[in-house]
Chain A
Amino acid sequence: MSTAALSRKERRAAKRAARHAAAKQVLPPEGVPLELPIASLGVRLGAQIADILITTAAALALLLLMGILGLLGVYSFMGLGMLLFFLIRVPYYVIAELIWNGQTLGKKLMKIKVVSHSGGPLTAHSLVLRNLMKEAEIFLPGQLLVSLQSVDPLTGWISVAWVTMALAIPLSNPYRQRLGDMLAGTHVVHLPVPILLKDLARENPRPSAAETPAFSFLPHQLDHYGAFELQTLEALLRAQDRIADTSAHRRNQATVVSIVEKIRRKIGYADVVKPEEAVAFLGAFYNAQRAYLEQRQIFGERREDKHYGVGPNDT
């Protein structure tokens, strides 16, 4: 009973994880799926607050200007202020997202961006729609709560319930879409940053036939690991450059030596590796292992990790 319940829960979790992974992918017209991580609600809230500050400042500046020029009566001050705030706000979001391709100033600050759900370009229509809906979803009921003290409790509670619902909707779908996003067919993503690190395989090139290699591996020695272990080793080797002070260096040295010992035992590498050669050994092993695994992959055998040959029932 309990195991069945557990497995059902696990299955549901797995399904949810798969849905979230699928949500990250955008399919552009070229047909190569791209990964664009979905922006979380916290980041979007940050961008939103920045935008609210900007529009409020603009509205206040305009109001002040009108006050100085003497265009304002005392009575119409409050009404005009709210009107101005409203009139600045809606076009600001739409025009900013049109000009900067799905980014307002706040979104630029947080490095997030609106993208079209279908993979095509953003249309003016969808940007207008998602920002108009933002008014109805959040701003107006929110303003009702903030600005009017004389609001009766029923209206107050309805507004609270409404805003809560509007904020809860994004949590219920993997794309984190607001109601307006759903209507407009958009969602918000993090902008990925392209950084090209150096190629480790070029650092330790294969020795040519003439010279004797320092370390050489036989094919059966390379059969033990898969892509996951290879990429973990890659991360370790990349971290070697960043070690600065001596104590960290000593600790790192100990780790590398123990890793070399583990690998030697696993693959049955007979020769002893001296501690000062440990990193060089790992580099050579990385190279040989990557060449071997990539070769297997081209032949159609993808080895995800070291358990690649073992079926789920074989253990």
Chain B
Amino acid sequence: MADESSLIRSARFRQEREHDWRRLEHLVAKAEGRGVQSLRFSESRDLASLYRQATTSLAIAREISLDKALLAYLEALAARAYLCVYAPQERLGGLVLRFFTSSAPQAMRRCAAFILAGFACMGLGVLVGYLLYLENSEWFYVFMPPGLAGDRGPDASTEYLRSVIYDSDPDHSGLGAFASLLFSHNTRIAIFVFGLGVFACAPAILLTFYNGLAIGAFYAVHVERGLGWDLGGWLSIHGVTELSAICIACGGGIRLGFAVLFPGQSTRREALRLAGRDAVKVALVAALMLLAAALLEGFARQLVQDMTTRYIVGWGIGALWLSWFLFGGRRRR
């Protein structure tokens, strides 16, 4: 249409590069549609180099061109290509494998102090709840969320309590419903405990402590009737995993709150971001443990009726978790 010499400088600039931009546009559309993996070797090589050329063109065009359409186009093209080029490259499988074999246990070890603090909160709560109940049984109604314990309060008969602990038909006794309710309750507690940790630790600590109080009082009800060991078995088959999960979630929450309280040299937001790296892995571990606990609760508790076996299964699984945290992801020397 027009030969080179008759064009003004910015139009010549565009004419020389337009072909490359079009090709980049085509590659970006392909990569977005079917994923970067679908590109051939030459195409992905071109994508990277054409993207860099396009950013250079954009930088130059901002200086020499007043063509608004061209600027808008280059701006959008470079942004789209940027999002394509800097997409996460890792495959999902590799990511999951890395989480289990190294990053999760390493994060757990780095947060060990906070997680121990979480366990201390829960333990203290249990102790206080237990002692307070022995002092006055009315405390039970203060601590226990209504509806969670069902009829299993201080007024229930010993036979009833025993029958709930050893019962193999979940649907008739309502234990199946109770189990799923308890699971969703504890999951919610774990998530709140983690998320609320951001607010200077206090809500996480209080909530864990309160949860401990409820367990302590519940335990004391059974100890009073001489069912302490039996309830221990009933609880430990899934509780070792489940309550540990809550304590670990609390540890993650405390880790976040700690970063807010004591950010050190960086800003609070930056400190929170850094703390989040470990805290989120800890939270994922807690979620995984809750899932495992739900499976144990749904199946193993009704299947295993013997007290000793319940103890062995519960604490054995607890030991497996612990060994994962302690020995997973250590580099061989």
Within the complex, the shortest CB–CB distance from A36 to chain B, in Å, comes to: 5
Q: A35-B79, A179-B198, A234-B67 are in contact. Are A121 and B89 (CB under 8 A)?
A: yes
Q: A73-B170, A115-B83 are in contact. Are A294 and B9 (CB under 8 A)?
A: yes
Q: A73-B171, A83-B183 are in contact. Are A197 and B69 (CB under 8 A)?
A: yes
A294 vs B14: C-alpha distance when bound (angstroms): 14
A135 vs B195: C-alpha distance when bound (angstroms): 9
Which of A136, A195, A230 is packed against the most chain B CB atoms within 10 Å? A136
Q: Write the B1-12 contact mask toward A (1 if CB under 8 angstroms, else 0).
A: 110011111110
Residues on the A chain within 8 Å of B196, using CB? 136
Give the residues from 157 to 178 in chain A that come closer than 8 angstroms, CB to CB, to chain B: none
Residues on the B chain within 8 Å of A238, using CB? 69
Is A271 interfacial (CB 8 A cutoff)?
Answer: no
Please, which residue of chain B has its CB at the minimum distance from the CB of A200? Answer: B67
Which of B8, B22, B83, B194 is packed against the most chain A CB atoms within 10 Å? B83
A208 vs B7: C-alpha distance when bound (angstroms): 10
Residues on the B chain within 8 Å of A82, using CB? 184
Residues on the A chain within 8 Å of B322, using CB? none
Residues on the A chain within 8 Å of B316, using CB? none
Is B141 interfacial (CB 8 A cutoff)?
Answer: no
A230 vs B240: C-alpha distance when bound (angstroms): 73
Indicate if the CB atoms of B1 and A83 lie closer than 8 Å: no
Is A44 interfacial (CB 8 A cutoff)?
Answer: no
A162 vs B56: C-alpha distance when bound (angstroms): 46
Q: A34-B75, A129-B276 are in contact. Are A76 and B8 (CB under 8 A)?
A: no
Is A113 interfacial (CB 8 A cutoff)?
Answer: yes
Q: Write the A173-211 contact mask toward B (1 if CB under 8 angstroms, else 0).
A: 000000100111100000111111101111001111000
Within the complex, the shortest CB–CB distance from B143 to chain A, in Å, comes to: 16
Size of interface on B: residues with Cβ below 8 Å to A: 77
Indicate if the CB atoms of A73 and B176 lie closer than 8 Å: yes
A74 vs B176: C-alpha distance when bound (angstroms): 10
Indicate if the CB atoms of A122 and B76 lie closer than 8 Å: no
Q: A73-B176, A294-B66 are in contact. Are A128 and B284 (CB under 8 A)?
A: yes
Is A241 interfacial (CB 8 A cutoff)?
Answer: no
Is A133 interfacial (CB 8 A cutoff)?
Answer: yes
Indicate if the CB atoms of B177 and A79 lie closer than 8 Å: yes
Indicate if the CB atoms of B273 and A185 lie closer than 8 Å: yes
Q: Write the B39-78 contact mask toward A (1 if CB under 8 angstroms, else 0).
A: 0000000000000100110110001111111100101111
Pick 15 A–B contacts, CB within 8 A, sort by A. A28-B86, A95-B92, A113-B83, A123-B88, A128-B284, A136-B196, A184-B273, A192-B75, A194-B73, A194-B76, A195-B73, A199-B69, A201-B7, A206-B8, A294-B65
Task: Report B's interface with A, CB cutoff 8 A.
Answer: 1-2, 5-11, 14-15, 18, 21-22, 25, 35, 52, 55-56, 58-59, 63-70, 73, 75-80, 82-84, 86-90, 92, 95, 147, 170-171, 174, 176-177, 179-181, 183-184, 187-188, 191-192, 194-196, 198, 269, 272-273, 276-277, 280-281, 283-284, 287, 291, 294
Task: Report A's interface with B, CB cutoff 8 A.
Answer: 26, 28-30, 32, 34-36, 73-76, 78-80, 82-83, 86-87, 90, 95, 98-99, 101-102, 113, 115-116, 119-125, 128-129, 132-133, 135-137, 140, 150, 179, 182-185, 191-197, 199-202, 205-208, 227, 230-231, 234-235, 238, 287, 290-291, 293-295, 297-298
